[in-house]
Structure 1
Amino acid sequence: MLTKLSSRAGELFGFLNRTDGSLRSKILRSGFWQALATFGVNGLTFAKSAVLARLLAPEAFGLMSLSLMAIRGAQLITETGFGSAMVQRQGDWDSAKDTAFTLLALRGLLLAVLMVPVAYGMATFYGKPELVALISVLGASFLFSGTANINLSRTIRELDFKKVAIIENVVGFASFIVAVAIAWWTRSVWALVASFVAAAVIKTALSYILIPGKPVFHIDRKIAMELLHYGKFITASTILMFIASEAGGAVIGKMLDVAQLGHYSVAFLLANFPPTHVAFVLSNIMFPAYAKIQKDLPVLRKTFAQVTDIIASLVMPVMAGMAAASGTMIAAFYGAGWEDAVGPFRILCIYGAIHAIVTVNGYMFNGIGRPDIGFRIAVIRVVSILVLIVPAIKLWGTVGAAAAMSFVMVTNLLYGLYQVTKVMEASWGEVLRPLWPATLKSIAAGGAIWIADQLLPSSKIEIVWLILVGAVVYIPMNIGMIKTVLKLKK
């Protein structure tokens, strides 16, 4: 028995360390390494937020939310799409890498300088002078991330995620240690700032240590124009997606107060933690995979249905269970003083579940060379949120913000599926069918955890029992899907 298990373990280890094989084998192998990277890093991110919630006041999270709003805004508004363009690129890769690297490095330098006046503007608008120093220091991260090894894109293009997983996990661990150590020492928002900058520095350093090839500064005008042509819709889409995702926090910070923004930010983080990171795993794998099959419509339709079934079945039941046990979860992970996060968190679980599916579909559109569809989806999201967010917050506060965000995400899903029917020449039945199993699983998982939450006596370990109940329901429902995925390596 032990010999047989050892043999199978050796076979699996050998499979995971190869780089050859069919497209299906590469997808499965990449899935393992990307999952290791994503769940390792984001497990540490979640642990970091839970630990810091007990060391720092909600106001610190509110200040960091406003600071990162400025950083993400500058980053996304100037998003070139060069990374995606390099992965999707059909021509010679080596001829374009130095141009992409140089443009990204110049962008990083420009953004680092730009964050100083942005910091003063944010501080004036929100009446928080401490934002000047926080945002200016956070801007230094652009200097490092902008000069990361562009050859990292080649490993993603070739569906080789092993070194990516190593880099991401080391960065996540280092960020956790820095944040907790400084929070313990200072009890201030600077713990969050230091961990953010440290992550950028370490990731860039590791990209040169672990990834072969050293880019040089050089610009080829023709190649630059090719990259910009592909990236223009991604640039526009990311600007709009930023406005859509940050609108709730931005308006709450202005209309309410920093403490309520802190509660909303924690609710948003927790509700998006499982779905967005599962989506990140699949998106990074399937983006290059879709690029390889973009001309084969039958294979494209079949792959889309399989991926939708997987992402929906993995995410939707988890979010249903989290919503059902929202009060117990917030109390267990964040402790006293965070009760006001429960209401928005419960509603944002809908946002998170649908967001995962929309995200994977967005990468699919990019992979098949139709980033314009992602742009139109982003336009619809922004316009809808800008119409709904202010009256929703006036009426219901942070709960209203969560409801507006969730409603808009549902409309995004429906419009995206409509576009799928057109580009893949598929019927509505074909694009909706993969969602039904996940819907039934969500009802079962949410119902089971809600009943358990009502029956179990309140205690410090109640959350442990609820997780066990969720596992007992969730694992048997998805075991068939897991077996199907594992057969891909054959």
Structure 2
Amino acid sequence: MTASTRARTSPAPATPHDPAGSTARGALWLATNGVVVKAAHTVVLLTLAALLTPSALGLVALGSLVANVAAILGTLGTASALVHLEGSTQRVERAARTALSLGLVTSSALAALLWATAPLLASSLRADDGGAAVIRGLTVVLPCLAVAGVTTELLRRRLAFARRIVPDTVSAVVGAVVAIALVIQGVGVMALVAGQVTQAVLMMLLAWVVHRPVLPGWDRADARALVSFGAPFSGAHLLEVVQLNLDYLLVARVLGALALGHYSLSYRIANMPYLMVAVVVTGAAFPYLCRARGADRARAAEVALGVTFSLMLPACLLLALLADDLVLLGAEWAPATPVLALLAGYALLLALLQVCLTVLNAAGRPGVAMAVRLVHLLVLGLTLLVVVDRGIVSVALAQVVVVAAVALPALALARRAVPGTSAARLGADVRPALVASVAMALAVLALRGLDPVAGGGVVALGATTLVAVLVFLIVLRAVGADAWRAVLELLRRREVLA
């Protein structure tokens, strides 16, 4: 074994720059970012739901779908490949210039194509009334996102999460303020477009503030290395976006914009814990998992699953228990309440699947991760084609069944890719959260059974939520004292938080 190999595989002494400690602090920084960004998006979403019709919200969902797919295709995954790329700092900086060139060319070409074909896309998605303008507005900023993506991924590679979140957090808040101000003035769905454009441009500018601008460049070897990892990585991400939005497409085509509005509101709310927990955990864990080896990587994978489950379970359970309060936005949202309860369970399973696929990517198996995404997409597509005409509740139930069927094999593949993981250790990690979640659910059911609380409006909803959170934390602290202390000590010691 060479000295360089030993340096990569041997445990490093605990220092202020210890990667595990940096990953732990990075998770906290990303969690802060996730809370702020999703809070901003939530306020915008609820404002739109309160002031616009369900069909208008469905139009927003379709435009966002096109924009999300285009953002992935616009970079070919080359920015994310910088996190996994091996080599010296000089090589990574050189590769970043190549990634920027690729991203600028492909995203600009794609933005031009979508501008020209927006009317056709809007018509095919049954969004003729304003759909083309929404698509054009949400995709014209693709080059800005490509530029910002290279910088933010470089910062993630270096575990510089404190600087990494600045462009995301500040731009999301400013974009939300712009969108809310315009929608209150009666601008309609284009208010969201204006907010998203503001967010994308500001994100690019702030990325240049927290990190010196990356200039375009080209190296053929770097391009091959980036695309060889980025293409399947991006392919898996694209399949994920299509899989996450296939229900939108089918509901829009078969059931119409009104049903899509009901479904999309429930989906967006249920998806918030996933974005605030699973995306945060895997985002912080991925650069560490790429470099960890042996027992370190196995333990990181276990903790990633344990932390994700322990945070997702109470959040999703609370959403399901309080789903009926969706009618506080207006009686017209009543059809969305059973959908929200089902999709809360779907979000929990989807988060666990996301961790498994992140482990596969970090272990150098992006092709396997993409294959899992493809299977998920195909099975879901076939299932939805059978049930979509039965209504949005059937669509939500199909989501739960299919993701459960895919998550179990994905877990087995992740364990095979990272030998040494322990089901017993994982069970010990999640046991306190299970007990605390049961206690929380009993407390909520008891409160909902009291006439002054149940159906009592926004104040009662807030009080119930507060009691639920307090009960969960108190019981978690009582039954999981050791785990609680370990998480706090993780910020100072060489342990793994993934």
Q: Report the TM-score when normalising by structure 1.
A: 0.90
Deviation at 1:89, TM superposition (A): 1.1
Residue identity in the other structure for 1:104: G
Per the alignment, residue 487 of structure 2 pairs with 485
Per the alignment, residue 108 of structure 1 pairs with 107
Residues 151 and 465 from structure 1, CA distance in 2 versus in 1: closer, same or farther, beyond 3 angstroms? Answer: closer
Per the alignment, residue 173 of structure 2 pairs with 173
Residue identity in the other structure for 2:177: I
Does 1:392 find its partner at 2:421?
no
Question: 3-state SS of the aligned residue for 2:251?
Answer: helix
Deviation at 1:441, TM superposition (A): 4.0
CA distance in structure 2 between the partners assigned to 1:23 and 1:155 by the alignment: 14
Per the alignment, residue 414 of structure 2 pairs with 420
Contact 1:272–1:352 (CA under 8 A) maintained in structure 2:
yes
Residues 222 and 234 from structure 1, CA distance in 2 versus in 1: closer, same or farther, beyond 3 angstroms? Answer: same
Q: Please point out which of 447, 454, 459 is paired with 1:452.
A: 447
Deviation at 1:217, TM superposition (A): 2.0
Q: Please point out which of 32, 36, 39 is paired with 2:32.
A: 36
Residue identity in the other structure for 1:290: L
CA distance in structure 2 between the partners assigned to 1:172 and 1:105 by the alignment: 22
CA distance in structure 1 between the partners assigned to 2:434 and 2:275 by the alignment: 18
RMSD (Å), alpha carbons: 2.0
CA distance in structure 1 between the partners assigned to 2:152 and 2:454 by the alignment: 50
Per the alignment, residue 299 of structure 2 pairs with 302
Structure 1, gaps ≥5 residues long = 1-18
Per the alignment, residue 3 of structure 2 pairs with none
Question: 3-state SS of the aligned residue for 1:337?
Answer: helix
Question: 3-state SS of the aligned residue for 1:146?
Answer: helix
Question: 3-state SS of the aligned residue for 2:327?
Answer: helix
Residue identity in the other structure for 2:321: A
Which 10-residue stretch deviates more, 253-262 or 477-486? 477-486
Contact 1:308–1:357 (CA under 8 A) maintained in structure 2:
yes
Question: 3-state SS of the aligned residue for 1:32?
Answer: helix
CA distance in structure 1 between the partners assigned to 2:440 and 2:341 by the alignment: 15
Question: 3-state SS of the aligned residue for 1:90?
Answer: coil
Question: 3-state SS of the aligned residue for 2:147?
Answer: coil
Per the alignment, residue 87 of structure 1 pairs with 83
Per the alignment, residue 470 of structure 2 pairs with 472
Per the alignment, residue 257 of structure 1 pairs with 256
| Alignment deviations for residues 145-168 of structure 1 (CA, whole Å, 9 cap, x no partner) | 123273332211111111222222
CA distance in structure 1 between the partners assigned to 2:44 and 2:241 by the alignment: 24
CA distance in structure 1 between the partners assigned to 2:251 and 2:363 by the alignment: 37
CA distance in structure 1 between the partners assigned to 2:33 and 2:438 by the alignment: 30
CA distance in structure 2 between the partners assigned to 1:103 and 1:457 by the alignment: 55
4+ runs deviating over 6 angstroms = none
Contact 1:74–1:111 (CA under 8 A) maintained in structure 2:
yes
Which 10-residue stretch deviates more, 137-146 or 426-435? 426-435
Contact 1:149–1:208 (CA under 8 A) maintained in structure 2:
no
Deviation at 1:97, TM superposition (A): 1.3
Structure 2, gaps ≥5 residues long = 1-14, 494-498
Residue identity in the other structure for 1:152: T
Which 10-residue stretch deviates more, 362-371 or 35-44? 362-371
Contact 2:232–2:367 (CA under 8 A) maintained in structure 1:
yes
Contact 2:70–2:139 (CA under 8 A) maintained in structure 1:
no
Which 10-residue stretch deviates more, 152-161 or 473-482? 473-482
Contact 1:316–1:353 (CA under 8 A) maintained in structure 2:
yes
CA distance in structure 2 between the partners assigned to 1:427 and 1:33 by the alignment: 27
Deviation at 1:430, TM superposition (A): 4.7
| Alignment deviations for residues 251-310 of structure 1 (CA, whole Å, 9 cap, x no partner) | 1101112111011111000001022221121111100010120xx222222222222111
CA distance in structure 2 between the partners assigned to 1:297 and 1:304 by the alignment: 11
Deviation at 1:431, TM superposition (A): 8.0
Q: Report the TM-score when normalising by structure 2.
A: 0.89
Residue identity in the other structure for 1:237: A
Residue identity in the other structure for 1:413: A
Residue identity in the other structure for 1:486: L
Deviation at 1:432, TM superposition (A): 6.2
CA distance in structure 1 between the partners assigned to 2:22 and 2:321 by the alignment: 37
Which 10-residue stretch deviates more, 282-291 or 48-57? 48-57
Alignment size in residue pairs: 466
Per the alignment, residue 12 of structure 1 pairs with none
Does 1:49 find its partner at 2:45?
yes
Matches within 5 A, 1:32-431: 32-91=28-87, 92-129=91-128, 130-148=130-148, 150-211=150-211, 213-293=212-292, 296-328=293-325, 330-332=326-328, 334-395=329-390, 397-426=391-420, 429-430=423-424
Deviation at 1:78, TM superposition (A): 4.9
CA distance in structure 1 between the partners assigned to 2:149 and 2:318 by the alignment: 40
CA distance in structure 2 between the partners assigned to 1:307 and 1:71 by the alignment: 29
Contact 2:240–2:373 (CA under 8 A) maintained in structure 1:
yes
Deviation at 1:73, TM superposition (A): 2.3
CA distance in structure 1 between the partners assigned to 2:476 and 2:197 by the alignment: 39
Contact 2:233–2:370 (CA under 8 A) maintained in structure 1:
yes
Contact 1:344–1:399 (CA under 8 A) maintained in structure 2:
yes
CA distance in structure 2 between the partners assigned to 1:216 and 1:418 by the alignment: 42
Residue identity in the other structure for 1:452: L
CA distance in structure 1 between the partners assigned to 2:149 and 2:253 by the alignment: 39
